[in-house]
């Protein structure tokens, strides 16, 4: 999808810009104690590297030392801007934590996340209630599976799985 969005229709793939996808992980997902891992892509069955201009980097978010990456990972987990190494990052944190405008932006973002979480919880609760209703209807044995699906709003496949005990 990144490539599709970076290339205009009809353009040659050679025009794709070099891209980097950086994953900052909470812990050392590779387990070698390194601050970062560069992923290289190779042609299957050969030792030829695929030179397509796309790069993937995993950053160990738990890494700490006095190197630039170690200081940056410290700053990313630091809650007090006074204790940060990089002033530009500290300034942005101060803005969001101490200015009226920044606090308002953060409050709105938190409210939006909370509302989305509530909506998702409600959707999941409604789905579980539908499943319980379907199970009760199946237990009664008064309805054909197609009728149970129509009444519950679940697909026939979902009703069949619940009947078979797989939809739990």
CA distance 150 to 32: 54
Please tell me whether residues 6 and 59 are part of one structural domain: yes
Using pLDDT thresholds of 50, 70 and 90, give the confidence band for residue 16: confident
In the structure, what pLDDT confidence band is assigned to residue 2 with cuts at 50, 70 and 90? Answer: low
The whole-model pTM stands at 0.62
On whether residue 52 sits in a domain, the answer given is: yes
Of 167 and 162, the one with more pLDDT: 162
Rg of the chain on CA atoms, in Å: 26
How many angstroms separate the Cα of 29 from the Cα of each of 12, 35, 40, 78, 135? 36, 11, 16, 21, 41
On the question of pLDDT at 158 being above 80, the answer is yes
Residue 30 lies in a domain: yes
* Number of compact structural domains in the chain: 2
Residue 152: band (very low, low, confident or very high) from pLDDT cuts 50, 70, 90 = very high
Burial class, 141, CB count within 10 angstroms (exposed 0-12 / middle 13-18 / buried 19+): exposed
Phi then psi for 79, rounded to 5 degrees? -100, -15
Q: Residue 1 has what pLDDT?
A: 59
Residue 125: inside a domain = yes
Q: Is residue 32 part of a domain?
A: yes
Of all residues in the chain, what percent carry a pLDDT higher than 90? Answer: 80
Structural domain containing residue 29? 2-63
Q: Is residue 26 part of a domain?
A: yes
Residue 160 CB contacts under 8 Å (≥ 6 apart), including other chains = 145
The pairing of beta strand 19-25 with beta strand 54-60: parallel
């Amino acid at each position: 999808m990144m490539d599709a969005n970076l290339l205009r229709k009809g353009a040659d793939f050679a025009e794709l810009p070099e891209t980097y996808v950086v994953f900052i992980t909470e812990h050392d997902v590779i387990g070698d104690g390194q601050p970062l891992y560069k992923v290289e892509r190779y042609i299957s069955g050969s030792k030829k590297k695929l030179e397509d201009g796309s790069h993937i980097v995993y950053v160990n978010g738990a890494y700490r030392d006095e190197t630039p990456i170690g200081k940056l990972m410290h700053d990313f987990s630091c809650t007090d801007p006074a204790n940060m190494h990089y002033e530009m990052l500290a300034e942005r944190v101060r803005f969001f934590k101490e200015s009226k405008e920044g606090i308002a932006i953060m409050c709105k973002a938190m409210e939006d996340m909370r509302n989305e979480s509530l909506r998702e919880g409600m959707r999941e609760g409604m789905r579980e209630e539908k499943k319980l209703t379907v199970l009760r209807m199946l237990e009664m044995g008064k309805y054909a599976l197609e009728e149970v699906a129509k009444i519950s709003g679940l697909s026939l496949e979902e009703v069949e799985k619940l009947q078979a005990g797989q939809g739990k």
